[in-house]
Amino acid sequence: MTFIKVCGITRPTDAELAARLGANWIGFVFWPQSPRFVEPGVAAQILETLPPHVGGVGVFVDQTISEVNEISDRVRLSAVQLHGNELSAVCPHFSRRVIKAVRLSRTDKPDIVNGVWSKATLLLDSFDPIKKGGTGKQVDLDLAAQISRRRRTILAGGLRAETVAEAVRRVSPYGLDVSSGVESSPGIKSPERMRAFFEAVTMANKESLSISSSVLKQR
């Protein structure tokens, strides 16, 4: 089963719907320059209303270890997502599980992830010279698939109801990270788009299970 993170949450209603639909993680952006930025106090209040099995993930961009750990404790995050140029050497100093974003361009090779801390979960997103996420641009699925076969990978970048089934089929990621693909505007989620996205992922998972069962029966 593919885990799902709905990122860029700013409103309780969006978080509650995501949880009802089956989200495993809710993502909060704590980088002040993002249009999806949310105050830690607001994020903490939102997370408190959700079932205990739904974890909170904080997105940070080149912020200090002390700031990240302070917000993690205050909001009671399950994981931190590092979306800047953070070095592997700093990763062991964070107090939560680390998800390290790698922004892929069309010219990158699978070895781009070789220097990422081995205990971090990878998040593959599309490269943008200005934006640090939520670009709506799809990553190179062939490149993502090669990386996913080597390390636990969360796939982001351009995911929406119309594209996610192919992404699941080609990449077989551990998890999916959706933000702009289920929005009506930055930080405001569309209930219709969220429902369509989760339905598409459910169908893709069922298809994958069916294919796996057929392969096993042939052996």
State yes or no: is 125 an active-site residue. yes
Task: Select which of 7, 14, 91, 177 is catalytic.
Answer: 7
- Residues forming a β-bridge with 101: 123
Closest CA to 152 of 188, 102, 107: 102
Residue 95 to residue 67: CA distance in whole angstroms: 11
Residue with tokens 């090779």: 109
State yes or no: is 7 an active-site residue. yes
Structural contact between residues 39 and 75, judged by C-beta atoms closer than 8 angstroms: no
Residue 188 to residue 157: CA distance in whole angstroms: 17
Task: Select which of 14, 91, 125, 177 is catalytic.
Answer: 125
3-state secondary structure 59-72: EECCCCHHHHHHHH
Structural contact between residues 159 and 180, judged by C-beta atoms closer than 8 angstroms: no
- Residue 58 sits at the vertex; the CA angle it makes with 104 and 42, to the nearest 5 degrees, is 140
Q: What is the set of active-site residues?
A: 7, 125
